[in-house]
Amino acid sequence: MGIEWTIEAVPSEVGVDLHIKLPLEGETLKAVLRLDRAQARVFGRSVLAAAGDAIDRTFPAPQVRSQE
């Protein structure tokens, strides 16, 4: 099923803290990204764009069946 990782958005005084946990060689790597509101918006848009790019590469064109 792949690597199990988590990301949690926690509100902060200036924006949001993203708590990321990744399993790495039997340990859990923990990272916190502290983002103000503008940075959080840019990060969110970037993640959505990357997901869209991945979908385009995975499914480059819709498969349309003829109606015969």
Distance between CA 20 and CA 28 in Å, rounded? 10
What ranges do the domains of the chain cover?
6-58
The pLDDT tens digits for 8-34 are: 999 999 999 999 999 988 899 999 999
Kindly report the pTM of this predicted structure: 0.64
The pLDDT tens digits for 43-53 are: 989 988 888 87
What secondary structure does DSSP assign to 15-63, as a single string?
Answer: EEEEEEEEEETTEEEEEEEEEEHHHHHHHHHHHHHHHHHHHHHHS-S--
